[in-house]
Amino acid sequence: MRFFLLSAALGLLATSNALTWQQPFGHNLFGSFFGLPGQDAEYDYVIVGGGLAGLVAAERLAENGTFSVAVVEAGSFYEFSNSNKSQIPWYSESSVAPTLDGYVNKMIDWDLITEPQPQLNNRQIHYAQGKCLGGSSARNQMIYDRGSKGSYDLWAKQVGDHSFKWDNILPFFKRSMHFNPPNVGLRGANATPSYDLGAYSPDGGPLQISYPNFAMPFGVYGVPAMRAAGFPQAKGFSNGELHGVDHNPFSIDPVHQLRSSSEATFLDYAITNGLPLTVYPMTQAMRILFNGTCATGVRVHSSGMDWSVRARKEVILSAGVFHSPQLLMVSGVGPASTLRGHNISVVKDLPGVGQNMHDSCAIGGVMHKTNITNPAITQAVMNDYINNGTGILTNSGGDVLAFEKLPPAFRSKLSNTTLEALSQWPEDWPDMEFLPLNRGGPTDAAGAEVSMLMVATISRGNMTIRSRSMLDKPLINTNWLLDPADQELAVQAYRRAREIWTYFPATGVDVGEEQAPGANVTTDAQLLEYIKEQGVSAIHHGSSTNMMGRADEAMAVVDSHGKVFGLQGLRVIDSSSFRFTPPGHTQATTCELLLSLVWDLQGLYVLT
């Protein structure tokens, strides 16, 4: 049904100049879900960005039944712009990172590159951001987990609003998604995940959370090896407890074994149920329109045409960690000195816009030759996926996670300054995430890796505008590993990964020579140089460039309701408005934040 609706809608979109938005006989036609390019229009709410955040907000507002909602999205449908690379889980990694020759599909990606990073030997790193309906939920590797209880309690404390405490946000986590238990008969031996059914609701949705119908070979060995290395058994990473190791769930449709993005779920639900939602695809928001300090709409551009999409109630920015602050700045909201430097009239001086970027990052991994291989992608494997929804194509690759604070043997090597910096995070906030990953096909000299992500980062980055135009890419400084505390932690994480490898032989893995960083890389200085030169890469968990905070915080941009300080009719509801990046992976937190703030916006969610 979904594919029929999408095809029918797009077919009418091609002739939309002959259509007007209408509800004949009280029902929407397929083509009615697309705004007319070049024609001014007005809605109750105008949402800029049709990604994970924007489509969740749009569907929930439209579901109210009394509001008209418009979504302005610079991209289109990823199913057409990137074919099945964005749908089939196994292809997800190849659709996120540039190819070996540097190719990036600019129909679905903004092709953002960081500025040279001095602390990483002046490397410039691609930072994937979804440019399509579904946004980065159409680009990520679909891992679904939630932050720790303590991380949300800390968020609530810092912004002065207890509605963000774990006990208060758990109902919104449950409401946004539907959990599907694993099909253990298809996953193979020793690959049964643990999970806590109390973390889910049978009435949640429409986002689908499930497990692949195939378990990655090295991950199957990784669970017992990491248990032996001291990791406790986790229970699905959605109950507010991250410490431990387990097979992790994904945002995958369990019936078709396809990506379950916000486009495939929230937007599809809105269209199928005829909600009052209008989408402007392939339409770039150029600036926010103001009447004094009140936002009244957005000026947009598409196919050589410029027009206004106005908001009777509010403009909501959901354009992501880089483009939401960029749109604020080109519209006159941000650091006054920056705006004047680009000859932009200042509507509101907010020095925190574009600052405070908080991000996890990958730091590479320790790789060995092993006897564990991936199946070849043969025609038989493809037929198995097409006909039965089984096999390796159902899995995106990283299906076992292991979180921990580094054990005392490694933490004791950290300086007092680093330990003090890490103490800002709650006790249940892990230092590191480890992933056992296959790194070789059946015909290669097979390799496997204990990969690492830093989730207790101290460094803060920033972004700013290159010009007064949204058509020019922003200037991005992630500042990964800029703080010495992050450097110290990264080095000790490599030493911990090497220790973890010593537990694999007992599970039946033949562990050969270390391929990376290599047996000759032994000192702290050598390890750090390797991490800087080859290890660090993006995992796209950036947040807080429009940081949520209290009114008396100079660098806060929005309050705990997502409202931009000093302005009316303007909210930011996406990862840029996070207080910080919680531990784990961010798509669950983004959904929860959206749902809680949208309920708050409608006056449905009030705590005393």
Dihedral class, residue 578 (left if φ above 0, else alpha if ψ from -120 to 50, else beta): beta
Checking phi first, is residue 354 left (phi over 0); if not, alpha (psi -120 to 50) or beta? left
pLDDT of 428 reads 99
| Exposure b/e, 436-471, CB count within 10 A at least 16 = b | bbbbbeeeeebbbbbbbbbbbbbbbbbbbbeebebe
Q: Give, for 178, the enclosing helix (H) or strand (E).
A: strand 177-179
Q: What is the pLDDT of residue 599?
A: 72
Q: What angle do CA 404, 410, 411 make, to 5 degrees?
A: 75
Closest CA to 345 of 267, 269, 288: 288
Q: How far is the C-alpha of 575 from the C-alpha of 321, rounded, in Å? A: 6
pLDDT of 467 reads: 98
pLDDT at 440: 63
Q: Where are the domains of the chain?
A: 1-18+40-142+260-358+463-476+543-577, 184-259+361-456+481-535
The pLDDT of residue 22 is 38
Any idea which fold 1-18+40-142+260-358+463-476+543-577 has? FAD/NAD(P)-binding domain (3.50.50)
| Residues 35, 12: Cα–Cα separation, whole Å | 12
Contact assessment for residue 138 and residue 259, using Cβ atoms and an 8 Å cutoff: yes
Tokens (6 digits) for 186: 């298809």
426 burial level (CB within 10 Å; 0-12, 13-18, 19+): middle
- Do residues 116 and 125 lie in contact, with contact meaning Cβ atoms separated by under 8 Å? no
pLDDT at 540: 94
Q: Using CA atoms, how far apart are residues 355 and 15, in angstroms rounded to an integer? A: 43
Q: pTM of the prediction?
A: 0.94
What's the confidence (pLDDT) of residue 592? 79
Mean pLDDT by 10 residues, the chain (608 residues): 42 34 42 87 98 94 92 96 92 76 89 98 96 95 97 97 94 93 92 96 95 97 99 98 98 97 95 94 99 99 98 98 99 99 99 99 97 90 95 95 99 99 99 92 71 98 99 99 99 99 98 96 99 96 98 98 98 97 94 77 49
**CATH superfamily, with its number, for domain 184-259+361-456+481-535:** Glucose Oxidase, domain 3 (3.30.560.10)
| pLDDT for the residue numbered 189 | 83
Hey, what are 408's tokens?
């005392």
**Which amino acids are annotated catalytic?**
541, 585
* CA pair distance 600, 346, nearest whole angstrom: 29
**Greatest CA separation found in the chain?**
75
> Measured between alpha carbons, how far is residue 67 from residues 24, 139, 241, 268, 601 in Å?
18, 30, 38, 18, 12
Distance CA 366, CA 499 (A): 10
